[in-house]
Amino acid sequence: MAAHRLRPCVGRLFGMGPELGSGRRAYSAFQAFTEVLRLPSKQLTKLVFPLQELHGHFVPGSRPDLHLNIFHPSLEDIARAESFFTASARNRIEYLTSAVRLDHAPDLRRPEVCFIGRSNVGKSSLIKALFSLAPEVEVRVSKKPGHTKKINFYKVGKHFTLVDMPGYGYRAPEDFVDMVETYLKERKNLMRTFLLVDSVVGIQKADNIAIEMCEEFALPYVMVLTKIDKSSKGHLLKQVLQIQKFVDTKTQGCFPQLFPVSAMTCSGIHLLRCFIADITGNLKTTGFQFS
C-alpha cells in the first residue's frame, strides 16, 4: 500500500542529489539528532524548525503573524526528547492493541496523545517517521489507503501512548463519529490531540468535522501541517499564512503555533517529538514561553 512506499526521512532532503538522497546511509543519517547537529546552521534550521525557515522567506519588514517561539526548545532539549523515541531493552516501543470502541481501549494510566485527520493526510506516515528510531515497531496501515477502521495504540516505554485514529472524509468508516467522538470526549488520559492538515490543500470541509469536535469538547489540540516537501516555497507560505489566520481568528482550543512536517524529509519531526515528550510531562523543557 502507498504508505509502505514512503520511507520516512529519505530523499529530497535539502535538495540533495540522488546519490545522497537515497540508500541506506542517507536513510539513517538524519534520524539521530547527533547527526543533525553536525549540519550547517541553515540546513539545521530547515530540518528542525521548518516554520522559522519559512519565516525567513518573507519580505523583511512585512511582519507576518506566524507564532514561532511559543514552543521553541533548545537543541539540548530536542536531543533529550529523542531518548524517549529510541527503542531499547529498557524503553520498549511497540504496537499495543487496536480497538473499535472506547470500551475496547486499553485502560492506561500513561498520558496519551492522539493523531486525527482526513484519510490520506499522512497520519500513518507521520507516526512511522516519529518512530523511525524504533524500526521494529509495526505501524498498522490499512490495506487500502483511508481504510483504517480501528483506533491503534502504541506504547512508548513507560512514558506515554500514541494513538492513531481512523481517518475521516472520503470513505470514512460509518461508525467514525461513534468511535472518534466518544474517544475524544471521554478518554481521561488524553493530553493532546494532533489534528493533521495537508499543507498542499489547506483546511478542507472534512477537516472542519474534527476542528468542530475539538472545539466543542474544549480539547487542547495542535495543528500539524503534513507533506511540506510537496509544495513550492511560495505555495507553502501562502497555505501556512491562511491556516495561521484561521487558527488565530476561528479557534479557541488550538495551540497557536503550527507544526509543519514532512515524513519524507524528516522536517519538523524532531521538534514534534520534543513537543510530545514535553506535553506528556516527560521532558520539562525550557521551550515554552507560556503554555
Q: Please, what is the minimum distance in Å from the beta carbon of residue 248 to ligand GDP?
A: 25
Q: Please, what is the minimum distance in Å from the beta carbon of residue 29 to ligand GDP?
A: 17
Could you tell me how far CA 232 lies from the centroid of its own chain? 21
Answer yes or no whether residue 167 interacts with ligand GDP by CB under 6 A: yes
Query: Stretches 153-161, 175-183, 227-235, 283-291: which one binds ligand GDP (CB under 6 A)?
Result: 227-235
145 or 202: CB nearest ligand GDP = 145
Answer yes or no whether residue 148 interacts with Mg ion by CB under 5 A: yes
Positions in 251-280 near ligand GDP (CB under 6 A) = 262-264
Please give the Cα distance from 29 to 27 (Å, whole number). Answer: 6
Taking CB under 5 A as the criterion, the residue among 31, 120, 124, 285 binding Mg ion is 124
Q: Please, what is the minimum distance in Å from the beta carbon of residue 67 to ligand GDP?
A: 22
Answer yes or no whether residue 152 interacts with ligand GDP by CB under 6 A: no
The listed partner (ligand GDP, Mg ion, none) that binds 262, CB under 5 to 8 Å by sort, is ligand GDP
Please give the Cα distance from 79 to 65 (Å, whole number). Answer: 28
In the shown chain, the binding pattern of residues 117 to 136 toward ligand GDP, with x for contact by CB under 6 A and - for none, equals x-xxxxxxx-----------
Q: Which three cell numbers stand for residue 287?
A: 521551550
Q: Please, what is the minimum distance in Å from the beta carbon of residue 108 to ligand GDP?
A: 22
Answer yes or no whether residue 73 interacts with ligand GDP by CB under 6 A: no
Taking CB under 6 A as the criterion, the residue among 50, 111, 146, 268 binding ligand GDP is 146
Q: Residue 224: beta bridge partners?
A: 196, 259
Summarize as ranges the residues that interact with ligand GDP (CB under 6 A): 2-3, 5-6, 117, 119-125, 141, 145-146, 167, 226-227, 229-230, 262-264
Summarize as ranges the residues that interact with Mg ion (CB under 5 A): 123-124, 148
